[in-house]
Amino acid sequence: MTDMRLPTVRTAGPADVPALVDLVQSAYRGERSRAGWTTEADLIAGQRTDATMVAAAVTDPGGVVLVVEDGTGIAACCQLERRDGYAYFGMFAVSPGRQGGGLGRAMLAEAERFARAEWAAGELRMTVIRQRADLVAWYERRGYVRTGELTPFPYGDERFGTPLRPDLVFEALTKRLG
């Protein structure tokens, strides 16, 4: 494996919302997402997020959105929320053209470092669509454990897209940070 050092990470602000919406959409939905391996295009159509949801994440006093920029704009992002005794990890996206080169792995490691160092979080939690076996396996290789805790996909809420199959469900994954 190559040693991927993370470029400068910064906290996103309101001016980043349009670029973040575009990044998240491009990483998971539509034809652009097929250039990377994190696509959900065969599972869910439509939007992955919208400007209202991203703006709420960016301005949430109990959280932070971290971004990495390259010469073309924001190349990766993730959201962290401070919760009781742990940090929640979400809105993780890497530009499809940058996937597979270690940027996502480095961004995840930075999110873990931030949660531990800035918030003294002893655990990082997330939810992943269980049917995304490749993505679940990627997190397991980085020390995350499947909890068996399942949450139904929000069928009928088009803010999260239009499911293309009836069995989608989220599973919680967790990793001890200390």
Evaluate whether residue 125 is within a structural domain: yes
CATH of the domain at 19: 3.40.630.30
Q: What is the pTM of this model?
A: 0.92
Q: pLDDT tens across 64-121, in order?
A: 999 999 878 999 999 999 999 899 999 999 999 999 999 999 999 999 999 999 999 9
- What is the token pair recorded at 43? 């599972």
Q: How many domains does the chain have?
A: 1
Residue 2 lies in a domain: no
The number of beta carbons lying within 10 Å of the beta carbon of residue 117 is: 10
- Torsions phi, psi for 2 (to 5 deg): -80, 155
Residue 1 lies in a domain: no
Count Cβ atoms within 10 A of the Cβ of residue 69 and give its class: 0-12 exposed, 13-18 middle, 19 or more buried: middle
Cα–Cα distance, 57 to 142 (Å, whole number):
25
Task: Evaluate whether residue 111 is within a structural domain.
Answer: yes
On whether residue 112 sits in a domain, the answer given is yes
Q: Which domain holds residue 47?
A: 9-176
Asked whether residue 100 is domain-assigned, the answer is: yes
